[in-house]
Structure 1
Amino acid sequence: MGRKILIMLLGLLVFAPSIGAFASTGDVLLGKQMIRKDTGTFISAFTDGSDDTYGLLNKKGYGSDIYYYDFPKPTTVNKLRIYGTGYGSISVKLFYLNNTSEIVYQRTNIQSGGEYIQTFPTKTDVVKVEIANPSGDSALNLATFSLYGEILDEIPPGDVTDIKVTPGEEDITFTFTLPKDSDFSHVLIYRDSKLLNGKHTKGSFKDVGLEPNATYEYKFVSVDETGNKSKGVIKTVSTFVPLKDISSLKANPDYNRVDLSWTLPKSTELKHVSIYRDTIPEEKGFLRKMFSAVSVSAADGPTKIFETNGTYFNDLTVKPETTYEYKLTSVGTDGEETDGVTVQATTLEEPTPVIKDPGYEITPEGDYLYTWTSPDKGKVKVLISGNEYQTVDAADKKILIPKDKMKYKMMGEPDISLQPISEYGKEGEIHEESPFEEGMLPFEGGDLLKTSMSLLVVLGPFILLALAFLIYPKLKQVISKALEARKGRGVKK
């Protein structure tokens, strides 16, 4: 009894290395497909585990005489089995990791229905096996080719799951759940096909030193202890530029408008720009005028007047000689709003309105229709004999004055004048209307002659009487002197 136990122990010692060499042994080609060397086509009849199916291993030099299989990673083998359904020859060649190769089996007299099993010294680091027909005389119908050794774990681990992404301006953070495979080893992380981390074992990863507002493609590949890799998970992520204020804010004021312009921030989070306006009290505006016509500062409490995603805004609702403060804020896609940038601007003095191209015509009813071409905004005050008659909208560009309301000057022309008033209340100069052009009389020469003769008939006697009073003293003196001279000549005789 003791002798039997000793023999058993000796047997275990002798065969232990062979048993321990393979944690799991079997046909390493079972279920695989070998590849025809000249065409790249696949054949599974040799390695399907059935002796009832076969494929042709042709005569040497006929193209289909060589088939091979590449192992996904180096393996260990020590036995083969061949089963033929026809007569022929076969050779088995192994290729190793160190770029060497050797023929481990060759037979030229394969019999139909013959089974051939060959054990050979253990071969490690085998990366490829090749079978060929070395005979140039006959083909071989090969039903089974089995190669025994260490069964490789070719099942890849699961991919990482539940990937969550937090992009920043110059970094991207990932969190994920690692696969639960018992042989899981690590994760390979690629960015744009470049390996970033080849031994990542944690459930989070942060990539830094990125460009703002740039897009990157990440791939996460799980690896198990035997080197099997998962298909991988791809995530395309973009960095962003955080919400910032606009820049280069400028204001260009006129008397009736303020034109704003600015530069938008290069932010992926920007939704629009909100524009607020506040009217600055006159005394504050006066102090501001002492230093600049336009100034930029910070302020609170204005009223929102517009939203835009553009780079300019024209405020047409201002008044002349008024100081306004504008605040422009950036609003993000999530509703976040920046503190904003402000600018103050004082509108200019309004130009004095002027009546242009005034004129009138008398209607068939005898009324007076006055017209003008400008202004077309604000009001026009109409005065008759210096008294306000009516104020109308300048846009009407006309007013009809009934003849019974009209008053006339000494020369018979209508005594009317027009005064423009701007839309902001500024009054222009009063324009006195004349029915004739400058330098022209309102009557013809014949009319003047007739009027003069009529006046002469009426005023003639009075004129002659006035002349008599003026001429009589002198005429009397002349007559007196003449008489005295005549008397003096008569005495001498």
Structure 2
Amino acid sequence: MKKFLFCFLFGLFIAAVYHQSAYAAEPEYYRVIDKSKPGSELSLNVNYKVGDTITVDFKQNLDWYSLRLNGVDFKGYKQISTRQVLTFQITQEMYDNNPNHIVLTTRGGDTGSRVTVYSVSLGDKLLYPFVQGFNGGLIDGSNDVYYETKAGSHSSPTSKVTDDDFNTFIKFDPDNYPYIKQLRLSHLGSKNSPANVNYFRIYTDSIASSLKIEVYDPVAEVNKSWTVTPEYYKGKPFEIEGFPSYSSHVQIKGFQKDDKAYAINFYDTVPGQFKNISDVEYIASDDSVKFSYTLPENFSYLKVWVNDQLKKDMVEDSSFELNQLIYDSSYNVKIISYSKDGGISSSYRTVVKTKPLQPPSDITNVKYKFDYKSLHMTYDLPKDDNFSHLEVYKNNVQIRSKLTEPELNFDDLQPSTDYTYKVVSVSNRGIRSEGYILSFKTEEYKDEVPPEKPTGLKVTNGNESLVLTWDKNSEFDLEGYHVYLDGKKITDKPIKSNMYTLPELENGKTYQVEVSAIDMSGNESEKTSKYGSPNTKGMPVFKAGYSLVDVSNGVGSWFSSLWLLLAFSVSIPLAFYISHRVKALFFA
């Protein structure tokens, strides 16, 4: 237990030393002087004399607390707990108390009296804070900075705020106020030479509660802005996220009357800051992005944020991969590198986009044939790893799904009709291909199928005649029947009836009779065949041309002399005879 406790405390000590060394070189941009904390006073080693002008930019914690210089209370300060700038002259008492130093302490004896000092100037010379130079930025010495009355109105170019000289400045003249009120950059970066802006620095004596950076992003087509608070007025780097890579409208607003701006600059990295990775490249898939880059000297590790969430905590290699991403989506990536001695780089930011999901290939080697009512297709299925199945559409209506066979058959088409078939490949994640499209028009209808041959053919032997009957065919497109005698077609055109009489034949002779069916397309069925032999015992047939009156008169003359004797004996058989012969008359 003692060993564990010792190791734990030693680890805390090492961490504290590491943290101290990591940030020991961090510049001080303001000083909080606290009566309760010895050593918090601000001591400046400087040569000065009685009558010199001192300017102090400070903020009291409470209304009644203020500052003392070399043990002498400030005179003329405002009893307010807001920021104020006080200018006065060195008195003899101040000089006598410490002729080689200017020491600022708090006034008042109660615990908790605190004053924040932002700057101290002796005449035009800045004594505190010890501001680092503004060179090393993106607009060093540029004459592309303008001070203007308002956007789009009178403006004048100047290099007074980009020359890294704190003796030159732009003053927002009270005689012209509120007309001269903002700074503008004519451009920052371009399409061909983009600027990677991560930080903004300004040195100003402004007592405004905040300044604002405004920029138009031509890519996103939106206005963007950032608020700069007083703690950044003395050169402390202000980190900017989402600054466009180029813009012709960069404005710095919010200055008050009598304010002076001494220096401004924009930076990729702050001068002296540990460098970040370089030569960054990435390769995106539909669900991952792989980064590769060059490591800086003294590199220890890096951290990666995606959409402001920490995703990689301790990357020590020259590459990393982001996984489980959503396809066809954009991600904001931020990378910060850390050195072996605790230095922290500026942020490297970029936007990456995953690829959309790729569909499988379409079917290939397609072969097809069609007629007036059917379509037959064969093809090769896609060989992609992500292929799952096919979907088939007919005239934009899905008719098949989850098809995995290499062929298609349809036999329900209509003659002389336009059709468009599309065969779509579907991936295992539901992504569909453009589809293979086949458009065609079916052929005209050509009926080449004959009817079934007639059945149930019966032959009745008559006197010098044969009477044929058969069963009716059931085809919907049946035109009629043809009758053949000894191989010769007797009917000139198809007859509709399923009964037919062959007259004027020779009794005692055997005849072959045949019947075939005919459809509307002229297709003729096979013939059904029978044999018959007329004889004198059969019923005679009336020749064509006799009318019903002729039949009636003939029958009457034939039986007139015997009518009374035979009337009752032959009336019934005669009725059957007449009926039978009348049928033969009309169907002969």
Range class of TM-score, shorter chain: 0.3 to 0.5
Higher alpha-carbon Rg: 1
From the two aligned structures, give the one with the greater helix fraction.
Answer: 1
| TM superposition score normalised by structure 1 | 0.35
TM-score (norm 2): 0.31
